[in-house]
């Protein structure tokens, strides 16, 4: 089998970049899941340190924290029953694009409580009180400085 040097180099770089990012684990020691690249989310908490396992106090990425409003993708969710917290396993698209015909290789980020994530374009509604619990409006700096009004919408 003949592989072009550029293709081999891209594959090697993608493998090295994704493996060097985080020591993320699945509960019970299972294999990491396939990433659904259609489920984006954004971090709503500045400098959170993702965990290696849901509920763990060990950081998945030593000395690195997640920046506010950075886009990631949810690969899995896990409920922590004793504290009633749901955790999301986050992945990012690799910095090295895959060669044509090859799947996207995820950079594993770590586990983050879902209450720190914005994962839909509308506010969350408390099922009991029907009060909007979480929403965020993001304006561009240009719109904020000029005082432009945004079109109003719920969420």
Residue 4 to residue 53: CA distance in whole angstroms: 38
In a domain, 144, yes or no: no
In a domain, 84, yes or no: yes
CB of 76 closer than 8 Å to CB of 39: no
In a domain, 134, yes or no: no
In this prediction, residue 97 carries a pLDDT of 81
In a domain, 151, yes or no: no
pLDDT class of 30 with cuts at 50, 70, 90: confident
Helix, strand, coil % in the chain, rounded to nearest 5: 20, 25, 55
CB of 22 closer than 8 Å to CB of 60: yes
Give residue-wise pLDDT tens across range 79-132.
987 888 899 999 998 878 888 888 888 889 999 999 899 887 777 788 789 888
Q: Across the chain, what does the average pLDDT equal? A: 76
In a domain, 139, yes or no: no
In a domain, 102, yes or no: yes
Q: How many domains would you assign to the chain? A: 1
Running DSSP on this structure, what letter comes out for residue 115? G
Give residue-wise pLDDT tens across range 65-83.
899 888 899 999 999 878 8
Give percent of the chain with pLDDT exceeding 70.
70
> Can you give the C-alpha Rg of the chain in angstroms?
19
In a domain, 27, yes or no: yes
Q: Which domain holds residue 41?
A: 5-120
């Amino acid at each position: 089998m003949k592989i072009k040097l550029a293709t081999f180099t891209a594959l090697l770089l993608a493998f090295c970049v994704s493996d060097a990012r985080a020591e993320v684990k699945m509960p019970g020691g299972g294999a990491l899941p396939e990433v659904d690249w259609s489920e984006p989310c954004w971090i709503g908490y500045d400098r959170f340190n993702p965990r290696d396992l849901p509920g763990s106090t060990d950081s998945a990425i030593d000395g690195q924290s997640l920046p506010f409003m950075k886009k990631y993708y949810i690969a899995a969710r896990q409920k922590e029953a004793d504290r009633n917290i749901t955790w999301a396993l986050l992945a990012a698209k690799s910095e090295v694009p895959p060669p044509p015909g090859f799947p996207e290789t995820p950079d594993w980020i770590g586990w983050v409580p879902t209450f720190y994530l914005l994962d839909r374009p509308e506010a969350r509604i408390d099922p009991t009180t029907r009060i909007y619990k979480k929403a965020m409006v993001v304006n561009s700096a240009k719109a904020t400085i000029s005082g432009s009004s945004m079109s109003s919408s719920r969420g």
